[in-house]
């Protein structure tokens, strides 16, 4: 009986197994060239989840992961620990060798590539003193990240990171002059078919950013939690940085102008791109003025729908104010005490009549217009929300400044001002020709004064101001060697950039000169000339128009 029971039980098991095999076969059938396979294979294909879709399949990686026999986690933990130990004991050779082993074990772990590439490029490189050695490790980090992009094809995060490393580490580090030179001369890094003029780190970084953007736009890869506003700004910013860099290295004229022109074009294209905002809707940075116009029109329509409501509401609220608040409001800012200031602020807030308040009053007083008013209110709120969202995103990338900068830098005066400043720098540093350097600096400042006066949208404390300030500091050194200073009246009266110096003298290097200038009165000195210059420039500007 027992034997028979056991036999029947085994038969039952076999039947259950056979039955279960049917759905498994349906679900798990692999795809072939002719057949699209089971459900799982189809889903894998649909969502690009197959290993071949992730990137390069490396036999070495596959073998080593298989060879760990399920102990991969332990092996990875040990190797991470080992890598940390090597880093601590400054054994960079073994550190890199350990990273290579880790790369074979966890090739699809994005954070690993980002973290360790950063480690090499940013942390290990600075441990060494020699610039060549530093560059070696900067490059090794970049190559490591590049290896990561081969395993993780079309990953926008890694591609953008690669662009960032090549652009910002090489172009912004303290050693950027040396790094950029080494990068251009690096035959081992660049593909053989890359022409010398394309071996600029900013241009190479732009290419990687373009690949990152293409992976999102064309391959529909996810950006994760990366901000689209900064992500899409990378390409025009790389071009801007390139244009800026070549000027600082002495390339001017048509080449510099066309570089800035391309930057302006790319910035314009970026401004017209649909960007997903944090609130879910899409915005375009260029659309702010359009939305502001729409808002104005809608508000006018609202005013027409309920004429005089705003004034009525304002008067009603004024009546509700306490005598103390009214008294505080009646005083000027200088006359107000702290307490009165607070009262006045609260009173002003309660007096403010919003579009929503007007809509609510129309709904209450004119029920026949309620539906139209509500619709208008919704449209106003939407326009308002878009304006705020665009404004916020514009601030994130300093939109107005870069837009203006790209336009200004194409102008002859700005190009010439850069060229003169560079020539002055060369005359001072290379030829020690102080007279010539001073003259060139002053010509450059005159041109800058005209450019700045013609473009009030470029504030004095902008990055341009800070960059001109470096030139002013060098000019001060020239003056010093000529036994002069910016505080001397004969120098100060010709100097046209006092506003800029006042706005950018963070280290208070020119505090005495500024004080002397202020005592003499701006009209007596450069301001007058600046204004004169700006008038001339405006005249030219209007003629051109």
Partner 1 sequence: MVLEHEILPYFQWLLYGADESLGALPRFFLIVLAVALLGLLLGAIVNVARHGLLRGGDRIYGIVATGFRELFSISPRRTWALTSLAMKEAWRRRVVVSLVLYLVILLFASWFLRTDNQEPAKLLLSFVLMATTYLVLGIALLLGAFSLPGDFKSKTIYTVVTKPVRAGEIILGRILGFSLVGTVLLVVMGGCSYIFVIRSLDHRHTIDASSLVRVTDREGTLIGYDGRTSTDAYHHHLLELDTEHNGDSAVTSGHYHRIEGHGEQVRVLEPTGYLRARVPKWGKLRFKDRKGVDKAVGISVGSEWTYRSFIDGGTLAAAIWTFSGIDESIDDYLDKEGLPLGLITRVFRTHKGVIGRPISGAIQLRNPQTGLKSDAITFLAKDAQVDDQFIDRELPDSEGNTIDLYNDLVSDDGELEIWIQCLEQGQYYGYAQADCYIRLPDGSPLWNYVKAYISIWVQMVIVTSIGVTASALVSGPVAMLFTVSFIVLGFFREFFVWIANGPSWGGGPVESLVRLVTQKNVISKLDPGPGTTLIQGIDDVLQFFMQGLAQLLPDFSALSTIGFAAHGYDIPGDLIAQDLTICLGYIVGLSVLGYFLLRTREIAR
* Interaction site with partner 1 (CB under 8 A): 60, 63-64, 88-94, 96-97, 100-101, 104, 128-131, 133, 136, 140, 174-175, 177-178, 187-188
Instruction: Provide the CB-side half-sphere exposure for 67 (13 A, CA).
Output: 10
Q: Which is nearer to partner 1, 100 or 272 (CB)?
A: 100
Q: How far is the CB of 337 from partner 1 (least distance, A)?
A: 49
Q: Which is nearer to partner 1, 79 or 295 (CB)?
A: 79
Q: How far is the CB of 132 from partner 1 (least distance, A)?
A: 9
Torsion of CA 183, 188, 192, 197, to 10 degrees: 10
Q: Which is nearer to partner 1, 103 or 203 (CB)?
A: 103
Nearest Cα residue to 447 out of 412, 498, 474: 412
Residues 6+ apart with CB under 8 A from 166: 142, 201, 204, 205, 208
* H or E element in which residue 275 lies: strand 275-276
Q: Which is nearer to partner 1, 84 or 198 (CB)?
A: 84
Q: How far is the CB of 155 from partner 1 (least distance, A)?
A: 23
Residues 6+ apart with CB under 8 A from 367: none
Q: Categorise residue 69: left if φ over 0, alpha if ψ from -120 to 50, beta otherwise.
A: left
Helices within 165-252 (DSSP H only):
170-172, 176-184, 201-217, 228-248
Tell me how far apart the alpha carbons of residues 1 and 20 are, in angstroms, rounded to a whole number: 28
Q: Contact at 8 Å (CB) between 474 and 422?
A: no
Q: Which is nearer to partner 1, 101 or 312 (CB)?
A: 101
Q: Which is nearer to partner 1, 58 or 299 (CB)?
A: 58
Q: How far is the CB of 128 from partner 1 (least distance, A)?
A: 6
Q: Which is nearer to partner 1, 15 or 177 (CB)?
A: 177
Q: How far is the CB of 62 from partner 1 (least distance, A)?
A: 11
Q: How far is the CB of 482 from partner 1 (least distance, A)?
A: 25
Instruction: Provide the CB-side half-sphere exposure for 539 (13 A, CA).
Output: 6
Q: Which is nearer to partner 1, 54 or 97 (CB)?
A: 97
Token pair belonging to 219: 């391959």
Q: What are phi and psi of 42, to 5 degrees?
A: -65, -45
DSSP 437-479: HHHHHHHHHHHHHHHHHH-TTS-TTSHHHHHHHHHHHHHHHHH
Nearest Cα residue to 274 out of 224, 215, 221, 213: 213
Token pair belonging to 170: 């090489």
DSSP-assigned beta bridge partners for residue 283? 275
Q: How far is the CB of 192 from partner 1 (least distance, A)?
A: 11
Q: Which is nearer to partner 1, 97 or 372 (CB)?
A: 97
Q: How far is the CB of 182 from partner 1 (least distance, A)?
A: 11
Q: How far is the CB of 129 from partner 1 (least distance, A)?
A: 3
């Amino acid at each position: 009986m027992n034997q028979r029971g056991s036999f029947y039980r085994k038969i039952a098991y076999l039947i259950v197994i056979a039955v279960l095999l049917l759905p498994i076969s349906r679900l798990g059938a692999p795809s072939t060239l002719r057949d699209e396979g089971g459900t799982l294979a189809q889903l894998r294909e649909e969502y690009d989840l197959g290993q071949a879709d992730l990137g390069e399949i490396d036999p070495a990686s596959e073998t080593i992961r298989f060879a760990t026999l399920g102990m991969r986690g332990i092996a990875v933990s040990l190797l991470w620990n080992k890598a940390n130990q090597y880093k601590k004991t400054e054994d960079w050779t073994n550190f890199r060798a350990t990273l290579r082993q880790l790369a074979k074990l966890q090739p699809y772990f994005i954070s690993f590539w980002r973290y360790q590439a950063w480690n090499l490029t940013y942390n290990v490189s600075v441990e060494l003193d020699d610039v060549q050695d530093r560059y070696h490790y900067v490059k090794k980090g970049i190559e490591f990240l590049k290896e990561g992009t081969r395993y993780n094809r079309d990953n926008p995060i890694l591609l953008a990171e690669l662009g960032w490393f090549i652009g910002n580490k090489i172009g912004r580090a303290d050693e950027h002059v040396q790094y950029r030179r080494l990068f251009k001369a690096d035959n081992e890094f660049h593909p053989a078919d890359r022409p010398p003029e394309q071996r600029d780190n900013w241009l190479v970084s732009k290419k990687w950013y373009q690949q990152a953007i293409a992976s999102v736009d064309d391959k529909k890869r996810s950006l994760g939690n990366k901000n689209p506003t900064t992500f899409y700004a990378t390409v025009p910013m790389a071009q801007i940085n390139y244009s800026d860099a070549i000027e600082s290295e002495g390339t001017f004229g048509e080449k510099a102008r066309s570089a800035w022109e391309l930057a302006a074009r790319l910035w314009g294209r970026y401004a017209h791109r649909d960007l997903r905002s944090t609130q879910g809707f899409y915005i375009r940075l260029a659309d702010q003025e359009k939305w502001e116009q729409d808002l104005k029109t809608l508000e006018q329509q609202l005013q027409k729908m309920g004429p005089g409501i705003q004034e009525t509401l304002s008067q009603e609220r004024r009546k509700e104010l306490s005598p103390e608040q009214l008294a505080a409001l009646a005083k000027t800012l200088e006359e107000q005490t702290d307490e009165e200031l607070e009262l006045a602020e609260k009173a002003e807030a309660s007096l403010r009549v919003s579009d929503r308040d007007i809509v609510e009053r129309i709904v209450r007083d004119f029920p026949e217009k309620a539906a139209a008013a509500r619709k208008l209110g919704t449209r106003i709120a939407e326009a308002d929300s878009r304006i705020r969202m665009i404004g916020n995103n514009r601030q994130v990338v300093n939109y107005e400044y870069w837009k203006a900068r790209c336009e200004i830098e194409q102008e002859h005066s700005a190009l010439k001002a850069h060229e003169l400043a560079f020539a002055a720098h060369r005359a001072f540093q290379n030829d020690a020709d102080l007279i010539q350097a001073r003259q060139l600096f002053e010509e450059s400042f005159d041109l800058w004064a005209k450019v700045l006066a013609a473009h009030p949208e470029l504030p004095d404390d902008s990055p341009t101001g800070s960059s001109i300030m470096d030139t002013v500091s060098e000019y001060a050194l020239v003056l010093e060697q000529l036994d002069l200073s910016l505080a001397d009246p004969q120098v100060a009266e010709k100097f046209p950039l006092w506003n800029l110096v006042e706005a950018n003298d963070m280290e208070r290097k020119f505090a005495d000169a500024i004080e002397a200038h202020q005592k003499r009165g701006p009209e007596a000195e450069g301001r007058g000339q600046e204004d004169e210059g700006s008038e001339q420039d405006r005249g030219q500007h209007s003629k051109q128009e």
